[in-house]
């Protein structure tokens, strides 16, 4: 009796030890994924920005972008969230988003291939031990490296090494479980494919990482705790569970964001259903009871970890090949399931054009979109200034409501950009992105001030209208010259800001000098016209104020251009 109790206690201790070891391994693996993803994003920020800027009409291009982008930052969730943000602000269509999501599913299989590679070695020095050593090498590089790039590479290397530390810990836990007959018998009893898919889905939804669950399943198959077929169905379920990240990101977002998340779910469910039907067909009609496990054991013998990793890759590639020609139909389906709600999405209300809350999960893309938002705000501010000049010179108020609407949007954008930058601050990103972030609030404020000066000019027009007065032909000609110079100035500032072009900034400075000169000339000419009786003091006061306001508009544009000095040298 005592011996039986001792055996039971030992069994409980062994199970508890294995569970705690498994939790430790999962924790290390999750941290490694986060470290790698964050620092890979920073290292590839400019390349990734250019990559996503190339989204076009080609379906294959979208798949390629999704695959490469996910492989680069080791996070299909991050890429999917980026896509949801782009769709939500209207700069990417649902069809484009679909193809990128297809590619993201393929790109995420890289992690499984890396994990499988780490399990080779046998009795010799294993690749897991070799790759785990990268943790120490990377930490030393990050701690003692003097150059920022070297520290970044060190952090990536440390994250890569930690993947295998976590993998080794999980593998040890699986070996402990495999030594317990009760655990093996329990797991062996779970053979129903649908139940296994459901378990894979639920576990991935809890962990919120299909890469982590797939890695755990690979270690279970490798240690003999479960068979290959069980691992295959768990992995299929993890594809469905990975949609949870996208669904959470889409909650509270616009209609198209929710459609994108649903599209992701429909695509992954379709792939699982397709392979379940194939498995059923093989089971019913093959004489030798052929299944996925036997097929992959035949093609990749004596390497269970590689068998599962290869199934994961082939599963996602085949699902993409099936879904790609059906993209338009899938888009149509999700649009029917989630219809548009015009009353809830009033396009006339002030709103952000390029930024979305979901993008805060991927700082590098949020910074890219922040730049686009500022450029759009600049266009709006300059257009409103030009409209104010048109109103004051023609005294034609037919576009006044449009002017007021744009002014309201400029105020909104200034406030929202500031709020967004605060929310984005503190998140891990490159020095370039940090410097740009620090300058963006000042740029938005400068552009909002341009809007305020345009409001002043419209008020001058209102005063002239009330006085039944107007500017002289000579004054209107000078205002036109000033407006032309500001338009030329903005063209150079726009180039300087967008392309980080210091030559364009220098050309802008020369134009700004001309604007200063014409401001003085306008004031001098006004005095002459006043003495000659060609204009009244009241009209003259409005004219001088207009000249000074225009000169200040130029100053604020120059401030926006000068902001590149704070970050462009890091590009």
pLDDT tens-digit map of 66-81 = 888 787 766 777 778 7
8 A C-beta contact, residue 89 and residue 353: yes
337, 370, 395 - which closes a domain: 337
Last residue of a domain, one of 337, 372, 407: 337
Q: Do 205 and 256 contact (CB within 8 A), yes or no?
A: no
Contact assessment for residue 70 and residue 299, using Cβ atoms and an 8 Å cutoff: no
User: Do 313 and 410 reside in the same domain of the chain?
Assistant: no
Evaluated on CA atoms 225, 227, 229, 232, the torsion sign reads positive
What radius of gyration do the chain's Cα atoms show? 31
User: Tokens 């496990």 map to which residue?
Assistant: 293
Is residue 472 a part of any domain in this protein? yes
Residue 438 lies in a domain: yes
- Residue 350 in any domain: the answer is no
Number of domains in the chain: 2
Query: Quick check: is 156 in a domain?
Result: yes
Structure-derived torsion over alpha carbons of residues 436, 438, 441, 447, reported in degrees to the nearest 10: -40
Indicate if 9 and 152 belong to the same structural domain.
Answer: yes
Residues 181 and 101 placed together within one structural domain of the fold: yes
308 and 387 inside one domain: no
Whether residue 71 sits in one domain with residue 118: yes
CA 319 to chain CA mean position, Å: 24
pLDDT in tens, 86-110: 787 677 788 888 998 999 889 888 8
Whether 383 is covered by a domain: the verdict is yes
Instruction: Please check whether residues 282 and 133 belong to one and the same domain.
Output: yes
- 137 plus 187 within the same structural domain: yes
How far apart, in Å, do the first and last CA atoms of the chain sit? 74
Backbone angles phi, psi at 209, to 5 degrees: -155, 110
In whole angstroms, give the CA distance from residue 219 to residue 238: 15
C-alpha–C-alpha distance, residues 395 and 407, integer Å? 19
Residues 393 and 475 in one domain: yes
The answer on 394 and 323 residing in a single domain is no
Find all residues with CB under 8 Å of 276, minimum gap 6, and list them: 193, 194, 197, 236
Question: What are the tokens at 11?
Answer: 């069994």
566 secondary structure, DSSP code: H
Please tell me the pTM assigned to this model: 0.71
DSSP 289: -
Same domain, 381 and 528: yes
What's the rounded Cα separation, in Å, for the pair 414 and 443?
9
The three-state secondary structure class of 381 is helix
CATH number of the domain bearing residue 518:
1.20.58.220
Tokens of 468: 């039944």
In the 8-state DSSP scheme, what is residue 126?
-
Please tell me the predicted confidence (pLDDT) of residue 341. Answer: 64
Which residues of the chain fall below pLDDT 50? 1-10, 123-124, 343-345
Give dist(CA 455, CA 384) in Å, integer: 9
Residue 316 to residue 365: CA distance in whole angstroms? 25
**492 is a domain residue:** yes
In a domain, 348, yes or no: no
Question: CA separation (Å) from 135 to 34, 159, 270, 315, 393?
Answer: 14, 7, 39, 32, 69
Residue 86 C-alpha from the chain's centroid? 8
Q: Both 59 and 201 in a single domain?
A: yes
The verdict on 413 and 463 lying in the same domain is yes
Instruction: Tell me how far apart the alpha carbons of residues 246 and 239 are, in angstroms, rounded to a whole number.
Output: 12
Question: What domain range includes position 35?
Answer: 2-337
Asked, for residue 342, whether it belongs to a domain, the answer is: no
Pick the last residue of a domain from 322, 337, 352: 337
């Amino acid at each position: 009796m005592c011996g039986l109790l001792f055996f039971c206690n030992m069994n409980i201790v062994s199970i508890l030890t294995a569970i705690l070891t498994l939790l430790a391994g999962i924790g290390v693996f999750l941290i490694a994924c986060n470290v790698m993803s964050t620092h890979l994003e920073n290292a590839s920020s400019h390349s990734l920005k250019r990559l996503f800027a190339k989204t076009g009409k080609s379906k294959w291009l979208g798949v390629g972008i999704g695959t490469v982008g996910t492989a680069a930052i080791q996070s299909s969730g991050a890429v999917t969230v980026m896509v949801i943000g782009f769709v939500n602000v209207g700069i990417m269509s649902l069809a484009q988003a679909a193809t990128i999501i297809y590619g993201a599913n393929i790109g995420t299989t890289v992690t499984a291939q890396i994990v499988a590679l780490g399990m080779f070695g046998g009795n010799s020095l294993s690749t897991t031990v070799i790759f785990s050593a990268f943790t120490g090498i990377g930490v030393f590089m990050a701690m003692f490296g003097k150059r920022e790039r070297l520290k970044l590479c060190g952090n990536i290397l440390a994250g890569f090494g930690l993947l295998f530390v976590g993998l080794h810990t999980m593998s040890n836990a699986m070996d402990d479980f495999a030594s317990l007959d009760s655990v093996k018998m329990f797991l062996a009893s779970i053979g129903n494919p649908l139940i296994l898919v459901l378990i894979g889905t639920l576990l991935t939804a809890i962990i919120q990482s299909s890469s982590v669950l797939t890695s755990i399943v690979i270690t279970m198959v490798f240690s003999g705790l479960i068979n290959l077929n069980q691992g295959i169905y768990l992995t299929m379920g993890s594809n469905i569970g990975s949609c949870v990240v996208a669904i959470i990101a889409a909650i509270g977002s616009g209609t198209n964001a929710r459609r994108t998340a649903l599209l992701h779910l429909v695509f992954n469910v379709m792939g699982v259903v397709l392979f379940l039907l194939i498995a059923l067909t093989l089971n019913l009609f093959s004489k030798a009871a052929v299944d996925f496990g036997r097929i992959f054991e035949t093609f990749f013998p004596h390497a269970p970890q590689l068998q599962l990793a290869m199934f994961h890759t082939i599963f996602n590639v085949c699902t993409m090949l099936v879904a790609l020609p059906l993209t338009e139909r899938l888009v149509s389906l999700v649009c029917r399931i989630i219809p548009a709600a015009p009353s809830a999405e009033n396009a006339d209300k002030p709103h952000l054009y390029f930024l979305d809350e979901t993008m805060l999960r991927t700082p590098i893309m949020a910074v890219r979109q922040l730049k686009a938002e500022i450029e759009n705000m600049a266009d709006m501010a300059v257009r409103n200034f030009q409209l104010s000049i048109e109103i004051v010179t023609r005294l034609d108020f037919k576009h006044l409501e449009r002017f007021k609407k744009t002014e309201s949007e400029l105020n909104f954008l200034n406030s929202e950009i500031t709020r967004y930058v605060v929310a984005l601050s503190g998140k891990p990103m490159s020095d370039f992105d940090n410097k740009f972030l620090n300058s963006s609030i000042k740029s938005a404020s400068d552009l909002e001030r341009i809007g305020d000066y345009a409001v002043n000019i419209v008020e001058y027009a209102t005063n002239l209208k009330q006085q039944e007065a107007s500017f002289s032909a000579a004054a209107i000609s000078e205002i036109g010259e000033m407006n032309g110079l500001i338009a030329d100035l903005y063209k150079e500032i726009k180039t300087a800001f967008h392309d980080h072009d210091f030559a364009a900034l220098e050309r802008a400075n020369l134009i700004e000098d001309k604007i200063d000169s014409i401001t003085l000339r306008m004031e001098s000419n006004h005095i002459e016209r006043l003495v000659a009786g060609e204009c009244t003091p009241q009209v003259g006061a409005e004219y001088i104020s207009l000249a000074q306001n225009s000169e200040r508009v130029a100053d604020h544009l120059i401030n926006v251009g000068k902001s590149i000095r704070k970050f462009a040298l890091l590009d």
